[in-house]
Amino acid sequence: MQPPNYQESTVPFSKRLTFAGLILLTSSLCSPCHAATLAHRYSFDADASDSVGGNDGILIDDASVSGGELILDGSPNGPSGDSMGFTSTIGIGSNFGSSGVTFEAWYTDQGSGSWAKLFSFGNGTSGSNIIFNLQQGGSGQGRIQYQGMPEANFGPRPTLGAEHHLALTISHSGEVNAWIDGIQIQASPPNLSGNGNNLSILPSSWERIGASAWGDANMSGSINEFRIWDGVLSVTEVVESHATGPDDLPGNGPRIESFTATPAARLEGETVTLSWSIDVSKVTGSLSLEVRDSANMVVHSSTNASGSTPVTMGDTGGIPQQLTYTLLAWDTDNPGAVRTGTTEIAVDPGIPSAGDQVLQTVTTTPVTITLTGADPNSHPGPLNFVVRSGPSNGTLDGTTPHLTYTAGVGFTGRDAFTFRTSDGKYESPDATVRIEVKALPTAPTGIAASTQEIGENVMGGGLVATLQASDSNPADTHTFALVPGEGATDNALFGMVGNQLRAVDGFAGQLGNSFSIRVRATDPGGLFLEEILLFTVIEVSSDVVINEIHFNPPDNTVRQEFVELYNPAGSDADLTGWRLSGAINYSFSAGTVIPADGYLVIAEDPVTLGTTLGASALGPYAGQLDSEGETIRLRDQNDVVVDLADYRVGFPWPVLADGFGASIELINPALDNSLGSSWRASVPQSGKPELVYVPLNSTGWSWRSGATEASDPVDSWRQQVFAEDASWTPGVQLPLGYGRVGNVTLNTTINGMQNSYTHLFLRKTFTIAPGEVPSQLSIRTTSDDGFVMWINGVEVERRRFNGAPRVGQTANNQGNEGAYENKSVLNAAAFLVEGTNTMAVQLINGTLGSSDIGLDVEVKRPSATGGIATPSPGARNTAFAVNAAPNIRKVRHAPDQPASADPIVVTAFITDPEGVGSVTLEYQIVAPGAYVPSHLPLPVSGGNINLSVPRPENPAYDRRWISLTMVDDGSGNDALGGDDIFTVTLPVQSHRSLVRYRITVEDDLGLSERVPYPDDEARNFACFVYDGVPSYNRHSADTLKTLPVYHVITRAEDYAECLAYGGGDQISQGTEARFFYNWTCAIVYDGKVYDNI
């Protein structure tokens, strides 16, 4: 194994092998060390002759031999174009079928077109071939084709314009392996079923280098060497042949086993030992070798197979260098075949460094400074030091490196100077000595309390205020203590914990009274100040409630969660010493106040909340709000729980807050916020009608080709301030593109894009009136294939493309051309502005040679009904109401899964401060086989579904509901009158009936609400009447019940359309409709019904 930094190759000085010499070399390949023998060799020294097998090449059309290579210009396409045939039939199947074959070529691809071939042997057109495709279609991928082998691309085509080595082997049974530049790209075996892979059956009616039997593009490039071996080269032989190069055959001459540098990293002026070891077992003459440096100068010559030589690292110019030394070895009998090996040495100039320092002194007290530096390289000379600049507020005395700094009279603060080291050849970067000049220690000058008011609800141990001392020595810290003396009248009522003043006893009944204490503040030097502080007891609000919770934003990568507090009282609420606990933890700093009728937001990320929802917030808090439910507690300064919200997901809690964009909002702060029915989901923050900013078929667009990037940096063109140059075409109309894009009619046709570039850049501006920046946008597009869209430089939409777009890349294919796709963009106020806004679109084709591309765009402000729910942090809840319908929870039916003989008892726990007026249950019986969905499916047309419209309501769903009154008077099945549990009994129903029900509650003021609430897509509660699993097909019911039992209940026509056995029901690949839930059903599992899903 060679060392990692070692490479071996053959230097192509010239092609000096004579035919006789070649015969001699070829005969050596017949020794047992090789399993293959060379059958044909085309070196193109002066012509297309076969120097081994005598089957000379025939040049076709403009093919020529020049400079030791076969030159092919790639035109015209097909069999008559530039290529090389053979004087006689090669006969791959007949001549190599029993032993296998190896094709070997050194070639340069200059950009051959689709399906261009390096070589093709077989029958040309019917599939019995061995072909090496330089490019499969327009994909930019290479492909190997062989009869009977499943076709697959091996990866991106090798670098264009550079010479590559290909070795492709096929065993007698059809096992295919291939290497490019010594790296395997095709591994064997393929699918070998049957005899379709046997090499011996490969026909020989088409044998060509560089051309296709079809009308495909021909190879554009050159071939340095082409060989055909009788037999299969091994991996080792392929690697050896690649290393040997095109001008010599593997297996002869010296072999470099190692060429190393010790050590491999040195400083300028130091010595490195270069060592080598060479295998000379196949040297027929004498060994000669040279060692050359990076400038190609000979630094050592030798005839020894192993040895070493020292080399001194020269001048680097002050820049670290990676120096390459090359070992050249050759056999004197064949001086043209030179083996090379390289090794690299990292050489560092050894730049000296200077050391930063940070020092302190007091006023004009001198401070001694010793400048420091280091030099990794001792060769140039000793270090010296030079002051470069400063100081600004003092003086330096002494001789470097020993200096004394003295601050100017009256100066305190930070001063600095810079210096540099030098070793006589190189200088260090500047270093900085910073000196902090402190004032003489002084006592504190003042003591302040965060508040001088005491809430009358403060209890023993509760926080009253935090104290802070003023001091002319800003770095001083202070300790606080209550001390006797003037003004210490009420010291006994208080205690100090650090800088916190706490109450010893409560202050209930002390409203309006004032209390005096004497406090001492002491600095680290023992200097102190005493002051008298006066505190007055005031009335405070304790009515603060948890008013809004945003626990599951629609995009979990955006840190948008928050908790909102509301103070409904007529006085300020001082939150000094208060905290949130439970799911999250946050302590309010001293002086935090919620004004009367005011709000306070605490966020997981205040910056993100400000940029996305425009709200100011405290935070961040610790912990997280679980999306499945959590408990949040608000505690006062006495650590008493002031409010608690134990939110959950699902009835009676709002459903729309579970990842659909909404928060949960308290309907009214007077309601019990531990009850789910006291909360509602927030609604879209838009009271404005729909407004289209950019319509379909819009004009005023500018476009530019994607042959190069639109700007440098590449994202500048997306910004508002970008100035379009002459490469942009202004004033065009969408749709824009070329070819046929479904049923879209193009208003602007792009010419010259196909097979030239894959990207288009588009820009357009639109205007938003003052005061009308929307919180949401609705974007509708039709595109072929992919795109990325920005507004004012912020990405708002993308389709069928991942990552950062760069010219030359391709998008995923649009499987349903002409289909329209919709996107709701939340938090639009974070990037939209009043006045001019700039939209930028990068349209990306699926392939370079794609037959079409197209785009049309609509951008609008949605109406309140068309928007997505958004929270309302720091403002009145969108769900606020003066009165609320009765609270309802614990809706139950018994039995959980009734049988056909069971009446169904439904109960609900219902309360209301104004009193419960009435409770009405409606139920609907869905007979077996007659399922009634809440919504009807959208039609499937042309392999797609129009998703720009909602699924229609099913009018049959609102029919045949039967009303019954629920009571709480102890009659019938109501267990206890007056316990707030209302009851009704439904009659028995037949086996396999689906019983739906919903409940309307009304208070004594006439305000009513029906549950499930409107944001719950279930639309109703339900139970399934079932007499149990029957025996089936000689299996007992007990046996069948050992597995879970599921019931899926839906309409027969919906089931058939969903399965899409009919061709007209099938949805095309690549459309959004394939991910759309279009059909409604009910699922029953473990006795529980999940309806309208």
Q: Which pLDDT belongs to residue 867?
A: 62
CA atoms within 13 A on the CB side of 67: 4
Contact yes or no for 763/735 (Cβ under 8 A): no
Q: How far apart are the two ends of the chain, measured CA to CA in Å?
A: 64
DSSP annotation string for 28-79: HTTSTT-S-EEEEEE--SSS--BTTT---EEEETT-EEETTEEEEE--S-ST
Please determine, for residue 306, whether its predicted confidence score (pLDDT) is greater than 80.
Answer: yes
Q: Which CATH superfamily is domain 545-681 in?
A: Lamin Tail domain (2.60.40.1260)
Please determine, for residue 1079, whether its predicted confidence score (pLDDT) is greater than 70. Answer: yes
Place of tokens 């090794």: 343
**What is d(CA 735, CA 729) in angstroms, rounded to the nearest whole number?**
15
**pTM score, two decimals?**
0.50
Say whether pLDDT at 369 is over 70: yes
Instruction: Print burial letters for 555-581: b (CB count within 10 Å at least 16), e (below 16).
Output: eeeebbbbbbbbbbbeebbbbbbbbbb
Pick the CATH number of 885-1092 from 3.40.50.720, 2.60.40.10, 3.80.10.10, 1.10.101.10: 2.60.40.10
What is 255-348's CATH number?
Answer: 2.60.40.10
> Can you read off the two tokens belonging to residue 552?
């599951």
By residue count, the chain amounts to 1093
For the 691-861 domain, the top CATH level (class) is mainly beta
Q: What is the pLDDT of residue 2?
A: 33
Bigger pLDDT: 459 or 7? 459
* The pLDDT value given to residue 1073: 81
Reported as a single tens digit per residue, the pLDDT across 980-1034 is 999 999 999 999 999 999 999 999 888 899 999 888 888 999 999 999 999 888 8
Determine the average pLDDT of the residues in 846-863: 92
**Number of neighbouring beta carbons within 10 Å of residue 308:** 15
The full set of domain ranges for the chain reads 37-244, 255-348, 353-438, 446-538, 545-681, 691-861, 885-1092
pLDDT band for 127, please (50, 70, 90 cuts). low
Q: How many CB atoms lie within 10 A of CB 513?
A: 13
Residue 251 has pLDDT above 80, yes or no: no
Q: What is the mean pLDDT of residues 557-574?
A: 90
* pLDDT tens per residue across span 798-840: 999 999 999 999 999 887 788 888 888 877 877 899 999 999 9
**What does the pLDDT average to over 69-95?**
92
pLDDT at 235: 87
Of the ranges 488-502, 805-819, 879-893, which is most confident? 488-502
User: What average pLDDT does the chain have?
Assistant: 88
- Angle at 520 (CA atoms; ends 515, 521), nearest 5 degrees: 125
For position 12, what pLDDT does the model report? Answer: 32
Q: Which of 277-281, 393-397, 506-510 has the highest mean pLDDT?
A: 393-397
- For residue 82, what are its two tokens? 């530039």
142-172 residue pLDDT tens: 888 887 666 667 778 899 999 999 999 999 8
Q: Where are the beta strands (DSSP E) in 400-551?
A: 402-407, 413-422, 431-438, 446-449, 453-455, 463-470, 479-482, 494-497, 500-503, 514-522, 528-538, 545-550
Say if residue 231's pLDDT is above 70: yes
Q: What is the pLDDT of residue 404?
A: 97
CATH architecture of the domain formed by 446-538: Sandwich (2.60)
> pLDDT tens-digit profile of 32-79?
334 689 999 999 999 999 999 999 999 999 999 999 999 999 888 888
Same fold, 255-348 and 545-681: yes
**895 vs 189: which has the higher pLDDT:** 895
How high is the pLDDT of residue 516? 96
In sequence order, the 6+-apart residues with CB closer than 8 A to the CB of 242 are: 165, 167, 179, 181, 182
Other C-beta atoms closer than 10 Å to the C-beta of 731 total 10
Query: What's the CATH fold of domain 353-438?
Result: Immunoglobulin-like (2.60.40)
One-letter amino acid for residue 825 of the chain: V
Give the least confident one: 25-34, 266-275, 714-723.
25-34
pLDDT (0 to 100) of residue 150: 67
When the candidates are 2.60.120.200, 3.40.50.300, 3.20.20.70, 3.90.78.10, the CATH number that belongs to 37-244 is 2.60.120.200
679: Cβ contacts below 8 Å, ≥ 6 apart? 647, 653, 654, 664, 665, 666, 667, 673, 879
Question: pLDDT band at residue 126, thresholds of 50, 70 and 90?
Answer: low
**Beta-bridge mates of residue 153:** 143
Indicate whether 519 pLDDT > 80: yes
CB distance 129 to 146 below 8 Å:
yes
